């Protein structure tokens, strides 16, 4: 059993790579140990962040570092016991987070982000899930005048520099856009271009179904069984060994599990994050995602209820869930929205795969023929899956890439 290409990992990034390779005439097997879009791509905020050019970097201001060091913030928490594992990565992230580093990452992300909606649109239509899309942008809101003024000053420069389409909103404008929000915010920014979906997991699954409908194979297998069998590769699946001339590692935060045994030492970290769904009181709704810019959480109407997504938790990648961040965030969220009860017995946990410079790795691994990589899409993997899939497929099929892929090379580290 064989195909031209084996794609390891059926999250948004792997599914999109598989679709783009298939569109270019390659036979593709997509292999996952769970189903399609069951991990990080299942439970994210569903925002296709057309404005997301400037990535989240490590704070450089002493005040902010001390704020996070107390471990009482809601937007970032850490497990003390995980620090020996996590701190070296955080140090590299801090090193990459100089103003120059941040600007370089933004310049490199821009061509990907600029194509995020135009690459999703045809897939949303072909996969039959265009009805899940809301074209209402999202709101990033602040609770204090001081913070709002600071953010507006920075954002105005970024908006001009990167062509981000957004407007500032005051209390009255917020009330008009989101009548069910309580009066906790003094103002903020309405990001106009992003679109969002009411079920990102369903979108991922619909993209995978499209891949299968078009002749692709979605197989159950463990990527850690990958073996080099020159001139190609093979992976053990429930249906037996599957062979491919080329292989794509798109395992998100687990990509290291394959690459380390092959001798690659890429600084792949992860920022864990949670979601929980709530019933809204009465007829309360949100027309668009709302991000609390001071506390790092977001609320959005989803098919299952109002979803609350949290900021970053620094813990061992596969450590059990800890409820602390959801509890802290829920208290803050109840101040601004009329939540009734939780709709799930326990929160969902996802892991944002992150490289220190907040750029993904897209391209050849380097030392093995036919070994390709696409992972590390941090806070933007739902946004960037299709555009990364296109770029990777262009590189693999010797088409001229739509953008210079060199910023995403694996050997930049």
DSSP string, 10-52: -SHHHHHHHHHHHHTT--EEEEESS-TT-STTTSS--EE-TTT
Selected binder of ligand FAD within 10, 133, 202, 373 (CB under 6 A): 10
Whichever of 288 and 379 has its CB closer to ligand FAD, that residue is: 379
Selected binder of ligand FAD within 275, 288, 307, 328 (CB under 6 A): 275
Which 228-257 residues touch ligand FAD, going by CB under 6 A? 250-254, 257
The tokens for 27 are 């036979």
Cβ of residue 78: shortest distance to ligand FAD, in angstroms?
Answer: 16
The tokens for 225 are 């069984």
Alpha-carbon distance of 86 to 356, in angstroms, equals: 12
Contact between 329 and ligand FAD per CB under 6 A: no
Whichever of 158 and 222 has its CB closer to ligand FAD, that residue is: 222
Which 43-102 residues touch ligand FAD, going by CB under 6 A? 44-47, 49
Closest C-alpha to 318, from 39, 20, 5: 39
Selected binder of ligand FAD within 105, 155, 198, 309 (CB under 6 A): 309
Burial of 189 from C-beta contacts in 10 A (0-12 / 13-18 / 19+)? buried
Whichever of 181 and 268 has its CB closer to ligand FAD, that residue is: 268
Instruction: Fill in the DSSP letter of residue 221.
Output: B
Contact between 12 and ligand FAD per CB under 6 A: yes
Alpha-carbon distance of 52 to 112, in angstroms, equals: 10
Contact between 350 and ligand FAD per CB under 6 A: yes
Alpha-carbon distance of 266 to 412, in angstroms, equals: 9
**Bridge-partner residues for 269, per DSSP?**
354
Cβ of residue 346: shortest distance to ligand FAD, in angstroms?
Answer: 15
Selected binder of ligand FAD within 232, 353, 356, 386 (CB under 6 A): 353
276: Cβ contacts below 8 Å, ≥ 6 apart: 307, 308, 326, 330, 342, 343, 344, 347, 348
Cβ of residue 170: shortest distance to ligand FAD, in angstroms?
Answer: 25
Contact between 377 and ligand FAD per CB under 6 A: yes
E strand or H helix that includes residue 151: helix 145-162
147: Cβ contacts below 8 Å, ≥ 6 apart: 293, 294
Contact between 34 and ligand FAD per CB under 6 A: yes
Tell me how far CA of residue 281 lies from CA of 164, 174, 301, 334, 403, in angstroms. 35, 19, 13, 11, 47
Selected binder of ligand FAD within 380, 387, 396, 410 (CB under 6 A): 380
Selected binder of ligand FAD within 3, 5, 7, 11 (CB under 6 A): 11
Cβ of residue 46: shortest distance to ligand FAD, in angstroms?
Answer: 5
Whichever of 49 and 198 has its CB closer to ligand FAD, that residue is: 49
Largest pairwise CA distance in the chain: 65
Which 205-224 residues touch ligand FAD, going by CB under 6 A? 222-224
150: Cβ contacts below 8 Å, ≥ 6 apart: none
Selected binder of ligand FAD within 7, 13, 77, 123 (CB under 6 A): 13
Cβ of residue 172: shortest distance to ligand FAD, in angstroms?
Answer: 27
Contact between 269 and ligand FAD per CB under 6 A: no
Alpha-carbon distance of 23 to 224, in angstroms, equals: 27
Candidate segments 6-14, 70-78, 85-93, 239-247, binder of ligand FAD by CB under 6 A: 6-14
Cβ of residue 385: shortest distance to ligand FAD, in angstroms?
Answer: 6
Task: Report the C-alpha dihedral over residues 231, 398, 405, 155, rounded to 10 degrees.
Answer: -130
Contact between 291 and ligand FAD per CB under 6 A: no
Whichever of 232 and 289 has its CB closer to ligand FAD, that residue is: 289
Please report, as ranges, the residues that interact with ligand FAD according to CB under 6 A.
Answer: 9-14, 32-34, 38-41, 44-47, 49, 222-224, 250-254, 257, 273, 275, 309, 350, 352-353, 375, 377-383
């Amino acid at each position: 059993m064989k195909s031209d290409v084996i794609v390891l990992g059926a999250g948004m990034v792997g599914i999109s790579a598989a679709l783009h390779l298939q569109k270019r005439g390659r036979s593709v097997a997509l292999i996952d140990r769970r189903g399609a879009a069951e991990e990080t791509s299942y439970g994210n905020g569903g925002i296709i962040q057309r404005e997301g050019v400037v990535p989240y970097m490590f704070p450089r201001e002493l005040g902010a570092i001390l704020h996070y060091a107390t471990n009482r913030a809601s937007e970032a928490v850490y497990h003390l016991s995980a620090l020996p594992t996590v701190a070296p990565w955080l140090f590299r992230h801090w090193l990459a987070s100089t103003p120059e580093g941040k600007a370089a990452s933004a310049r490199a992300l821009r061509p990907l982000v600029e194509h995020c909606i135009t690459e999703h649109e045809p897939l949303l239509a072909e996969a039959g899930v265009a009805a899940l899309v809301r074209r209402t942008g999202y709101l990033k809101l602040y609770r204090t005048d001081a913070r709002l003024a600071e953010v507006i000053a920075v954002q105005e420069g970024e908006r001009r520099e990167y062509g981000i389409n957004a407007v500032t909103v005051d209390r009255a404008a917020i009330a008009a856009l989101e009548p069910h929000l309580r009066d906790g915010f003094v103002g903020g920014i309405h990001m106009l271009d992003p679109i969002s979906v009411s079920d990102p997991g369903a979108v991922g699954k619909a993209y995978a179904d499209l891949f299968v409908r078009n002749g692709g194979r979605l197989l159950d297998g463990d990527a850690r069984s990958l073996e080099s069998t020159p001139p190609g590769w093979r992976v053990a699946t429930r249906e037996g060994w599957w062979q491919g001339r080329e292989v794509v590692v798109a395992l998100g935060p687990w990509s290291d599990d394959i690459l380390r045994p092959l001798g690659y030492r890429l600084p792949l970290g992860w920022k864990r994050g949670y979601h929980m769904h709530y019933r809204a009181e009465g007829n309360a709704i949100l027309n668009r995602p709302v991000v609390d810019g001071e506390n790092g959480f977001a609320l959005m109407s989803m098919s299952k209820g109002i979803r609350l997504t949290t900021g970053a938790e620094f813990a061992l990648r596969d450590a059990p869930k800890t409820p602390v961040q959801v509890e802290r965030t829920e208290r803050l969220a109840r101040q601004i929205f009329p939540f009734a009860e939780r709709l799930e017995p326990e929160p969902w946990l996802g892991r944002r795969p992150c490289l220190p410079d907040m750029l993904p790795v897209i391209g050849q691994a380097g030392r093995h023929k036919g070994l390709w990589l696409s992972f590390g899409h941090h806070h933007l993997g739902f946004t960037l899956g299709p555009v990364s899939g296109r770029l990777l497929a262009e590189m693999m099929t010797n088409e001229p890439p739509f953008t210079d892929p060199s910023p995403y090379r694996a050997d930049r580290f």
